[in-house]
Amino acid sequence: MTDWNAISDADFRKEVRGFFEAEYPEELRNLSHRPKFAEIEHWHVKLHAKGWVAPAWPAEFGGMGLNAAKLLIFYEEQQRWGVNRGRDMGIQMVGPLIIKFGTQEQKDYWLPRILSCEDIWCQGYSEPGAGSDLANLRTRAEIDGDDFVINGQKIWTTMAHDASHIFMLVRTDPDAPKKQQGISFLLAPMDQPGVEVRTITTLSGEKEFCEVFFDSARAPKENLVGELNKGWTMAKALLSFERIFIGAPNLAQNALGQLESFARGRGAFDDPVFRDRFAQAALDVEDHAALYTRFADQLKRGETLGADVSMLKIWVTECFQRITELMIEAAGPDGGSIGPLQVGNVSVDVLASFYKARPGTIYGGSNEIQRNILSKAVLGLPG
């Protein structure tokens, strides 16, 4: 087995880049929608054969065992080449949780199935009354014989209509003194009578989010991961790496590149006002990347990231939105048109970019919630 961490960053980058460029199917590059598994299965098979499905997992569980520095490189190369993340909820969320908190039996059973995508996972966290205030979740799981019986509703469940399993936060002790207590982490199969999935059509017409209804659905007791009523702490422990990942510069950088070719084709740069606003956006992206590097270096030195890393997410998601506004502006009378707009030999789907930029400020803890956290945890502002 290769010890990837032992080779130089530059060599590792070359290796990863080489593989993606040679093996990643051209038709799947820079997908503007979230694919169903069937659409990307041929790529997943290759990735699985290579042993690269789970870059962050320890090698003993079938991962690449990458340290933080190598992991960042892996993701940077993935984004650079427009490689789709695939159906990675199992890899990103469930696997690490089972590795950290699961029993030996759980590891032996679930981890290989996650890697092979025999099981495809979706995340059941948010509920109609538990969005930013996630700890307010109400979906109940009660023990009945050898099973948990689940009742309630999850929402914004990404790709639930294409998942075989759901990992969820459920309330197992409604009488706990604090709402963060009494929450457990449970795995449940989707293919059963008590589970109903309805897709939600988004502003852009996509159907990647779902509502999931549980009406006395069942999950065996051994599907509880970690201790009963300790799910909140476990779920939070997973978030630290994700927080730098969702603050990465790539989405904004890609959008800026699109904006530039589109604006050039449209002659928007003839307008000095537009030039200035473009320069502002471009510098916002460059200087964000400098701050991102500072945090990435912290990770590379083996330091733990603090709450201040959320700055990256706030800045870059809002910057991404400003860039897509400039695209609409450059589109002029075409600014309301759905589908790709052709300019010269480039084709840019202005509205697709615009819509793509919307959820970033909402998911992963809305930017308002992030500001609340920063104001208390970083600036030390009172109450």
Partner 1 sequence: MTSSEQDDLRLLRESTRTLFERAGGSGRARKLRDAGGNFDPAMVRELAEAGVFGVTVPEENGGLGMGLAAGGVIAEEVGRVIAPEPVVMTVGLSLGLLRRVCPDHPKMAQLISGDSVLAVAWQERGPGGAPGEATCRYADGKLTGSKAWVAGAPGSQGFLVVAEGDNGPVLVLADASATGLSVDKRTQADGSSLGELSFSGTPAEQLAEGPAVQDALAEAISDATALAAAELVGLTDSAFDITLDYIKTREQFDKPIGSFQAIQHRAVDLHIMREVAQAGVREVLAQMDAEADPKRRAQLASRAKARAVTAAKKITRDAIQMHGAVGYTDEYDIGLYLNRALVLSAWLGDDAYHRRIWFDAREEEGAAQ
Which of residues 7 and 291 has its CB atom nearest to partner 1 in the complex? 291
- Interface segment toward partner 1; rule CB under 8 A; list 120-128, 145-153, 154-162, 310-318: 310-318
Q: How far is the CB of 370 from partner 1 (least distance, A)?
A: 8
| Residue 325 vs residues 82, 199, 319, 337: alpha-carbon distances, Å | 22, 28, 10, 14
CB 156 within 8 A of CB 183: no
Please identify which residue in 196, 211, 271, 308 interacts with partner 1, judged by CB under 8 A: 308
- Min dist CB 254 to partner 1, Å, is 18
Q: Burial level of 183, CB count in 10 A (0-12/13-18/19+)? A: buried
Q: Residue 212 CB, nearest distance to partner 1 (Å)?
A: 33
Minimum CB separation from partner 1 for residue 344, in Å? Answer: 15
The DSSP-derived string for 97-130 is HHHHH--HHHHHHHHHHHHHTSS-EEEE--BTTB
Residue 79 interacting with partner 1 (CB under 8 A) = no
* Residue 233 structure tokens: 């702490």
User: Smaller CB distance to partner 1: residue 177 or 380?
Assistant: 380
**Span near partner 1 by CB under 8 A; candidates 24-32, 112-120, 167-175, 268-276:** 268-276
| Contact between 302 and partner 1 per CB under 8 A | no
Report, in Å, the least distance between residue 5 CB and partner 1: 19
Confirm or reject binding of residue 132 to partner 1 (CB under 8 A).
Answer: no
Q: How many CA atoms lie within 13 A of 258 on its CB side?
A: 26
Judged by CB under 8 A, does residue 315 bind partner 1?
yes
Report the site for partner 1 in 269-288 (rule: CB under 8 A).
269, 275-276, 278-280, 282-284, 286-288
Give the residue, chosen from 60, 294, 337, 342, that forms a contact with partner 1 under the rule CB under 8 A: 294
* C-alpha separations of 92 from 198, 212, 268, 340, 342 in Å: 24, 21, 41, 32, 37
The single residue among 8, 290, 304, 333 that binds partner 1, judged by CB under 8 A, is 290
Question: What element of type H or E holds 184?
Answer: strand 183-189
DSSP 8-state code for residue 25: -
CA dihedral 98, 103, 109, 114 (to 10 degrees): 0
- The interface mask with partner 1, positions 197-216, x = CB under 8 A, is --------------------
* Residue 242 annotated among the catalytic residues of the structure: yes
Considering the complex, what minimum distance in angstroms separates the CB of residue 375 from partner 1?
4
23, 206, 242, 325: the catalytic one is 242
Number of residues forming the site for partner 1 (CB under 8 A) = 31
Question: Helix 68-80 and helix 272-300: axis angle, to 10°?
Answer: 150
> Amino acid letter at 76?
E
Contact indicator for 266, 330 with CB cutoff of 8 Å: yes
Amino acid letter at 104?
Answer: Q
Contact 153, 212 (CB under 8 A): yes
- If the CB atoms of residues 336 and 380 are measured against partner 1, the closer one turns out to be 380
Question: To which residue do tokens 């590149």 refer?
Answer: 257
> Are the beta carbons of 53 and 47 closer than 8 angstroms?
yes
Specify the residue, 137 or 311, whose C-beta has the smaller distance to partner 1. 311
**Catalytic site positions:** 242
What are the residues binding partner 1 (CB under 8 A)? 269, 275-276, 278-280, 282-284, 286-288, 290-291, 293-294, 308, 311, 314-315, 368, 371-372, 374-375, 378-383
